[in-house]
Chain A
Amino acid sequence: MTANLPDPMIPTPFVVQKVKRETSDTYTLDLTRAEGAANFAFAPGQFNMLYAFGAGEAPISISGDPARPETLVHTVRDVGNVTRAICRLKRGGVLGVRGPFGVPWPVDRVAGQDVLIIAGGLGLAPLRPALYHLLNHRGEFGNIEVIYGARTPKDLLYLRELERWRGRFDLRVHVTVDQAEGDWHSNVGVVTKIIGRTRFDPPSTVALICGPGVMMRFTVLELLNRGLKPEQVYVSMERNMKCGIGLCGHCQWGPFFVCKDGPVFRYDRIKAWFDRREV
């Protein structure tokens, strides 16, 4: 007997309900299903293939609240033809969605732990659902520290939300940039320098990291220096995902398919491949 599951290769039409410009080249889109009112359930850290009709598909992390599955939220940076077409969509525009795909952040397995969320640049987008989950279940976790770095204050995502999070008593948020002018009052310096200011108990801590490769490499090293073990560190890898289900091989990374075995990996499992330049 064959289960009546939707074909993972066929996109479902979604309608753009809201577009918010985050930075000069990055937009957040709120989407709902074009037909029917069914929710879009996903786990924090998963991604969708977004299909801009006539332009192509791009893998984009889901950046909304998993407890609010009626709206699908994606934050997209305009870096190529497909993402440009997605970013140019207006309210009422339609795009195709395949997913959700991939291995999520282990947020449902780290109760009782201190949690470090470390994001660089656009890397905050795939981590935001994890933070929503932690805050939705706040009592289950120890200290939660968020470190977020960007090039300049103008490159920061979710500014109003960052301000709201900073106002909470049960969460510490550290925002840092590489360079600042004018009335910037927060930190200037790389995220690795901020790790020393955070409060966590190394044996009972898990770190979730997402950002450009160089940022993740230095961050992992700093965390290991500060007493975390490789199995306590999770990273989200970015590769050129195409099919989303481990068939086409576009996103092969050593023995892994990032779309199916990732994008979230426990560091000890990928350590041998993490620094290899040729893969």
Chain B
Amino acid sequence: MDTMAPILAAHPFCKGLDSRYLKLILECASRETFTPGQLLCQDNQEARKFYVIHHGRVAVEIYRARRGAVTIQTIGEGEVLGWLWFDQPYHWHLDARALDLTRVISLEVQCLLDRCAQDHGFGYEIMRRYAHRLAVQFRATKAQLADFYGD
């Protein structure tokens, strides 16, 4: 647990977080490593974890019957994977596959939700960061939909 603290503290998602809150996150955290090609999550599976990526890269994919897996985004160090864990039905809506050897700190969703409910100050901090990430993602998706490189 100790070695995770500096990684989380330096990660953009947790940077500047009060040490009390960081401790609450650490109670829900564990380390995981994924080899290239390995799935971090799969469409329709229950979303039990939220991944804080601190090394490597992950391809976010949507499976299409005739074309197979289509990568719609890659995410890497300093980013997080799993946005819908705050919202019912707590299922993944995509596949995510490690492109490189990928090291993450995975956070148990139920554990985080419980702590958010118990400590609203913590819940607000998490929600604030969550909203920021959603806004960043929303802007990127909007740009992607605008056919950025079209004529």
Chain A residues with a Cβ under 8 A of chain B: 79, 120-121, 149-151, 155, 176, 178-182, 184-193, 196-197, 211-212, 214-215, 218
- Within 8 Å by CB of B76, from A121, A149, A192, A197, lies A197
Q: Which of A120, A176, A188, A212 has the most CB of B within 10 A?
A: A188
Closest residue on chain A to residue B77 by CB atoms: A197
Q: Which of B71, B147, B151 has a CB less than 8 Å from the CB of A188?
A: B71
From A155, A181, A193, A214, contact of B71 by CB (8 A): A181
Q: Contacts A185-B99, A197-B76 known; A190 to B143 CB distance under 8 Å?
A: yes
In angstroms, how far is the closest chain A Cβ from the Cβ of B132? 13
Q: Which residues of B contact A149 (CB under 8 A)?
A: 148-149
B25 at the interface (CB under 8 A from A): no
Known: A181-B67, A218-B143. A188 touches B72 (CB 8 A): yes
Asked if residues B73 and A151 are in contact (CB atoms below 8 Å), the reply is no
Which of B59, B140, B150 contacts A190 (CB under 8 A)? B140
**Do A190 and B68 touch across chains, with their CB atoms under 8 A apart?**
no
CB distance from B150 to the nearest CB of A (A): 6
B148 touches A181 (CB 8 A): no
Task: Answer whether A192 and B149 are a contact pair too, CB < 8 Å, given A181-B71, A197-B76.
Answer: no
Closest chain B residue, CB of each to CB of A215? B148
Please list the residues of chain B having a beta carbon within 8 angstroms of any beta carbon in chain A. 59-60, 67-76, 78, 99, 139-140, 143-144, 146-151
Contacts of B148 in A (CB 8 A): 120, 149, 178, 190-191, 211-212, 214-215, 218
**Residues on B with beta carbons closer than 8 Å to the beta carbon of A196:** 78
A113 to B91, CA, bound (A): 47
User: Is B149 a contact of A79 with CB atoms below 8 Å?
Assistant: no
| Given contact pairs A150-B149, A151-B150, a sample of 19 additional A-B residue pairs in the complex whose CB atoms are under 8 Å apart | A149-B148, A155-B149, A178-B149, A179-B70, A179-B72, A181-B68, A181-B71, A184-B71, A188-B59, A188-B73, A190-B140, A192-B143, A196-B78, A197-B78, A212-B149, A214-B146, A214-B147, A215-B148, A218-B148
B149: contacting residue among A185, A193, A197, A211, CB under 8 A = A211
How many whole Å from A155's CB to the nearest CB in chain B?
A: 7
Contact B69 A181 (CB under 8 A): yes
Please measure, in the bound complex, the distance between the C-alpha atom of A192 and the C-alpha atom of B149, giving whole angstroms. Answer: 12
Chain A residues near B76: list those with CB within 8 A.
197
Which residues of chain A come closer than 8 Å to B72, judged between CB atoms? 179, 188
Closest 10 CB pairs of A and B: A121-B149, A190-B143, A180-B71, A188-B71, A215-B148, A188-B74, A120-B149, A187-B74, A189-B73, A214-B146
Q: Which residue of A lies closest to B99 (CB)?
A: A185
Known: A189-B73, A197-B76, A211-B149. A178 touches B99 (CB 8 A): no
- Given A190-B143, A192-B143, A180:B149 Cβ within 8 A: no
Tell me, in angstroms, the Cα distance from A197 to B76 when the chains sit together: 10
Asked whether A178 lies within 8 Å of B144 as measured between CB atoms, the reply is yes
Residues from chain B with a CB closer than 8 A to the CB of A185 are 99
CB pair A212–B71 under 8 Å, yes or no, is no
Q: How far is the CA of A155 from the CA of B148 in the complex (A)?
A: 13
Inter-chain CA distance A149–B150, complex, in Å, is: 11
CB-CB < 8 A to A150: which residues of B? 149
Min C-beta distance of A115 to chain B, whole Å: 22
Can you list 8 A-B pairs, Cβ within 8 angstroms, ordered by A?
A: A79-B151, A178-B147, A185-B99, A189-B75, A192-B143, A197-B76, A212-B150, A214-B143
A181 pairs with B140, CB closer than 8 A:
no
Docked Cα-Cα span, A176 to B75, in Å, equals 12
Give the chain B neighbours of A212 by CB distance below 8 A: 148-151
